[in-house]
Amino acid sequence: MTPPYRCALIGFGTIASAVHGILSQEPSGSPDLHWGALVRPSSTRARPPAAITVFDTPEALLAWKPDLVIEAAGQTAVRTLAPAILEAGVNMIITSAGALADPDLYQRLDQAARQGKSRIIIPSGAVGTLDYLNALQGTQNVHVVYESRKPVAAWRQELITLGHDPDALTGPLQLFEGYASEAALRYPQNLNVAATLALAGMGMQATRVRVVADPGLAENQHRIQVNSPIGTLDALFQNTPAANNPKTSAIVAHSVAQAVRRQFSHFTIG
């Protein structure tokens, strides 16, 4: 690949628009990028700016020959679009990591990437510690617990579905406790972190997850506890929610932007 690189977004919502904004304001010396975006013709979201080439079909996007595709449109987009993109030999950043809690889809994407000699990139997203968990792979007796604790605004619809009045909640309410495999599929818009941690570390069936709606919080809290024969980890991340979507953290777009930089850099750390 030689610059300028072609970088395509799937979706143009909170994360995708923020990633484009971050990288479009980079100083000289940063990746030279030409942007495209695949958006639904019927989408009610704001259309991408004129500087972005807009595609209405995945076939049109692939005909543009992108060097990198960034999925930021949800788990359905991963299921329906990722296999063809990977088979076409295009590296892909997947932000909706929860989709990979489905073992059949995981295998399908792995096979597609092998066939296309492409790569699946899962960004760190809202948390750190992925390198630590990754280093523990192959170690026995590793225990991983992840707690997601977010303000009520992030869980409003889920609380209503469960029969709770979000505005009447006076204290923390645990919504879920179980394994990452179930958590990521049950809450596809809120728990991509659970899947990311499981993929980096011990797997979907060995990563415990707790989900709490807390009316006393203004930030999205992520606590990760790891115990193993070679060490312990207790990390707490307190992230500002994204301005247009309380379910996600503002830091996520910056993490994705950094993943893009790494793809086109000759020098990486971590």
Is residue 107 domain-shared with residue 173, that is, in the same domain?
no
Band of the pLDDT at 190, cuts 50, 70, 90? confident
Q: Which of 21-35, 108-122, 177-191 has the highest mean pLDDT?
A: 108-122
- Specify whether 224 is located in the same domain as 184: yes
Distance, CA of 192 to CA of 183 (rounded, Å): 9
The whole-model pTM stands at 0.93
In a domain, 9, yes or no: yes
Identify whether residues 150 and 116 lie together within a single domain.
no
Which residue in the list 20, 34, 143, 222 is annotated as catalytic?
Answer: 222
State the CB neighbour count (10 A cutoff) for residue 189. 15
Its domain, for residue 203, covers 130-239
Residue 182 sits in a domain whose CATH number is 3.30.360.10
8 Å CB contact between 217 and 120: no
**For residue 266, what pLDDT is reported?**
80
Strands 241-242 and 220-228: unpaired
pLDDT band at residue 143, thresholds of 50, 70 and 90?
A: very high
Q: Is residue 115 domain-shared with residue 10, that is, in the same domain?
A: yes
List of residues 6+ apart from 42 with CB closer than 8 A: none
Q: Could you tell me if 159 and 232 lie in one domain?
A: yes
CB 151 within 8 A of CB 246: yes
What pLDDT does residue 29 have? Answer: 52
Among the listed ranges 28-32, 34-38, 64-68, which one has the minimum average pLDDT value?
28-32
Q: Are residues 92 and 140 in the same domain?
A: no
Does residue 12 sit in the same domain as residue 79?
yes
Q: Tell me which residue of 197, 208, 129, 124 sits closest to 174, measured CA to CA.
A: 208
Count how many domains the chain has: 2
Both 82 and 99 in one domain: the answer is yes
- Whether 24 is in a domain gets the answer yes
Distance CA 41, CA 25 (A): 27
Taking only the tens place, the pLDDT of each residue in 53-62 is 999 999 999 9
Whether 32 is in a domain gets the answer: yes
Q: Is a pLDDT exceeding 80 seen at residue 245? A: yes
Quick check: is 222 catalytic? Answer: yes
Q: What is the pLDDT of residue 268?
A: 77
150, 62: one domain: no
Helices assigned H by DSSP within the chain = 14-24, 58-63, 75-87, 103-116, 130-135, 156-161, 180-186, 192-200, 251-263
The whole-angstrom distance between residue 159's C-alpha and the CA centroid of its chain comes to 23
Instruction: Check residue 204 and give its pLDDT.
Output: 94
Question: Residue 244 falls within a domain, yes or no?
Answer: no
Q: What's residue 211's pLDDT?
A: 95
Two structure tokens written together for 129: 């510690």
User: What secondary structure letter does DSSP report for 215?
Assistant: T
Asked whether residue 110 falls in the same domain as residue 157, the answer is no
> How does the average pLDDT of the chain come out, rounded?
93
In this structure, the answer to whether residues 147 and 116 fall within a common structural domain is no
Residues 73, 169 contacting (CB under 8 angstroms): no
Average pLDDT in the 132-152 region? 96
Grouping H, G, I as helix, E, B as strand and the rest as coil, residue 71 is strand
268 inside domain: no
Residue 34 within any structural domain of the chain: yes
pLDDT exceeds 90 at position 31: no
Cis amide bond preceding 4, omega within 30: yes
pLDDT score of 53: 96
CATH of the domain at 73: 3.40.50.720
Domain identity same for 100 and 15: yes
Smallest Cα–Cα separation from 122: which of 63, 71, 159?
71
